[in-house]
C-alpha cells in the first residue's frame, strides 16, 4: 500500500513554545487515519502545515510521492474545528461559491450540490441563511463544502461536534463511502469510540511529539494486560476460584444458579488453552474472551505518563 502523505522530521516553534518536535509519520492511501492528542499537543499546527497555511521550521511533507506544494491543496479537503461559513450568505449560494472556488464548473457543481443536498435531506435549505441554521445543520453544510470537489485527502477536525446520534451515524456512513470510493481521511478527534470504529491507523501526539502510532488492533494488543472474561455454568456452591495464585480473580458476578462471570488476570506465559483447561475443572465454560484496552484507555494512560515526565 502506497502512502498518500508522509511527514519527515517536521518541527515547528512559536517564539519559545515548541509546537511540533521531529514528527515523522506515514498515511497510507485509501485509509482512515486518526490524529489524536490532548488540547495543545500540536495537532492543529500539524494540520496547518499539511494544508500549507504555515510552513515547518524544519522537515518536509511529502504528498503523492513528492514534496508538498501549494498547488496540491486542490486535491485536499479541509474541515477545520473552527467553522468557516459566511453567516449572512444563503446556503445554496455558499456551497456553489466554494465548489467553484475549488475548480468545479457551474454544471458540475450543480450536480454535486443536488447529490449532497439529497444525501443529507436538505433540499429545502437552498435559500436559508447560515445564521438561521442550528449548529448541527451548519455542520452538514460545512462537510459538503469540504468534500464537494472529491478531494483525494480529506482532513476532518472534530467533524462530529454538534451532531445528534442519528446525524453522527449519517456522517460516519458518508466517511466510509468516501474511503471506499478512493479518498483518504485524516481524522482529528477527541472521540475515542470514533477512532476504534473508523480508523485503520492512528498517531497520538503529546507535548509536541509522537508517543505512539500504528494500526488500531495492533496497538490494542500491544497494550494488553492479560485480562480475560469467562462465563462458567454448573459450578458448585462452595467453589473457590482462587486455587491457582497465578490467576488473579479481579471480579466475580453471579449470573444465576451455578453460573458465574469472572474477570481474571494472568501471567503472560499462559496460553488461552491453559487458562481454559484450568477453569473447565469448575464447570462448563460457555464463553471466553480476552479483554483488550480501548483506545481511550491507552490515550489516558499515555497522556498521564507524559504529564509526569
Does one domain contain both 22 and 133? Answer: yes
* CATH number, domain containing residue 245: 3.30.70
pLDDT in tens, 267-280: 778 888 988 888 88
**Are residues 198 and 270 located together in one domain of the fold?**
no
Helix %, strand %, coil % of the chain (to 5)? 35, 30, 35
283 plus 185 within the same structural domain:
no
Q: Read off the CATH number of the domain in which 188 is found.
A: 3.40.50.300
Instruction: Report the pLDDT value the prediction gives residue 154, as an integer from 0 to 100.
Output: 98
CA distance 251 to 62: 50
Closest CA to 163 of 142, 184, 145: 142
- Residue listed under C-alpha cell 508517543: 211
How many structural domains is the chain composed of? 2
Q: Give residue-wise pLDDT tens across range 281-306.
A: 888 999 999 999 999 899 888 888 87
Q: What percent of the chain has pLDDT over 70?
A: 98
Looking at the fold, whether 48 and 191 belong to one and the same domain comes out as: yes
Helices 106-119 and 91-101 pack at an angle, to 10 degrees, of 130
Same domain, 105 and 168: yes
- Which helix or strand (DSSP H or E) is residue 46 part of? helix 43-50
CA distance 29 to 185: 9
Under 8 Å between Cβ of 20 and 11: yes
112: cell is 454535486
Q: Which long-range contacts (CB under 8 A, 24 or more apart) does 238-243 make?
A: 239/282, 239/283, 241/279, 241/282
Residue 60, C-alpha cell as written in the block: 518536509
**Whether 181 and 42 share a structural domain:** yes
Please, what sign has the CA dihedral across residues 89, 91, 92, 98? positive
Which percentage of the chain shows pLDDT scores above 90? Answer: 58
User: What does residue 296 show for φ and ψ, rounded to 5 degrees?
Assistant: -65, -45
Pair (129, 189) in one structural domain: yes
Q: Is residue 302 part of a domain?
A: no
Domain boundary among 193, 221, 249: 221
The pLDDT of residue 270 is 85
- CA separation (Å) from 141 to 93, 125, 186? 11, 10, 19
Nearest C-alpha neighbor of 205 from the set 194, 190, 220: 190
Integer Cα distance of 123 and 117 in angstroms: 5
How far is the C-alpha of 37 from the C-alpha of 188, rounded, in Å? 9
Q: What is the pTM of this model?
A: 0.86
Same-domain check for residues 119 and 41: yes
pLDDT of the residue at 245? 74
- The pLDDT of residue 60: 96
Write out residues in the chain with pLDDT < 70, as ranges.
Answer: 307-309
Q: Which residue has the cell 522530521?
A: 9
Are both 86 and 152 inside the same structural domain?
yes
Cβ contacts of residue 241 below 8 Å, gap of 6+? Answer: 247, 249, 252, 260, 262, 279, 282
DSSP sequence for 73-85: GGGEEEE-SS---
Which of 174, 200, 221 is the C-terminal boundary of a domain?
221
Residue 46: its pLDDT value, please?
Answer: 95
Question: What domain range is 23 assigned to?
Answer: 3-221
Amino acid at each position: 500500500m502506497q502512502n498518500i502523505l508522509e511527514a519527515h522530521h517536521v518541527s515547528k516553534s512559536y517564539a519559545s513554545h515548541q509546537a511540533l518536535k521531529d514528527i515523522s509519520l506515514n498515511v497510507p492511501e485509501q485509509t482512515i487515519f486518526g490524529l489524536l492528542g490532548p488540547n495543545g499537543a500540536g495537532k492543529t499546527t500539524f494540520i496547518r502545515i499539511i494544508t500549507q497555511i504555515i510552513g515547518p521550521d524544519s522537515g518536509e511533507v511529502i504528498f503523492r510521492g513528492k514534496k508538498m506544494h501549494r498547488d496540491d491543496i486542490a486535491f485536499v479537503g479541509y474541515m477545520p474545528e473552527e467553522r468557516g461559513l459566511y453567516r449572512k450568505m444563503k446556503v445554496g449560494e455558499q456551497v456553489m461559491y466554494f465548489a467553484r472556488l475549488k475548480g468545479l464548473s457551474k454544471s458540475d457543481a450543480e450536480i454535486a450540490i443536488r447529490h449532497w443536498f439529497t444525501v443529507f435531506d436538505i433540499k429545502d435549505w437552498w435559500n436559508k441563511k447560515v445564521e438561521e441554521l442550528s449548529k448541527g445543520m451548519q455542520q452538514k453544510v460545512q462537510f459538503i463544502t469540504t468534500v464537494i470537489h472529491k478531494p483525494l485527502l480529506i482532513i476532518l477536525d472534530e467533524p462530529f461536534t454538534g451532531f445528534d446520534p442519528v446525524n453522527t451515524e449519517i456522517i460516519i456512513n458518508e466517511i466510509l463511502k468516501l474511503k471506499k470510493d478512493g479518498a483518504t481521511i485524516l481524522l482529528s478527534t477527541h472521540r475515542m469510540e470514533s477512532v476504534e470504529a473508523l480508523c485503520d491507523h492512528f498517531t497520538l501526539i503529546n507535548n509536541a511529539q509522537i508517543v505512539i502510532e500504528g494500526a488500531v488492533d495492533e496497538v490494542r494488543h500491544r497494550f494488553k494486560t492479560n485480562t480475560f472474561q469467562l462465563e462458567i455454568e454448573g459450578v458448585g456452591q462452595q467453589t473457590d476460584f482462587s486455587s491457582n495464585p497465578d490467576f488473579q480473580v479481579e471480579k466475580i458476578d453471579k449470573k444465576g444458579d451455578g453460573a458465574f462471570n469472572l474477570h481474571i488476570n494472568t501471567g503472560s506465559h499462559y496460553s488461552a488453552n491453559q487458562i481454559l483447561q484450568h477453569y473447565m475443572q469448575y464447570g462448563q465454560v460457555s464463553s471466553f474472551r480476552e479483554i483488550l484496552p480501548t483506545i481511550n484507555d491507552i490515550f489516558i494512560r499515555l497522556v498521564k505518563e507524559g504529564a509526569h515526565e
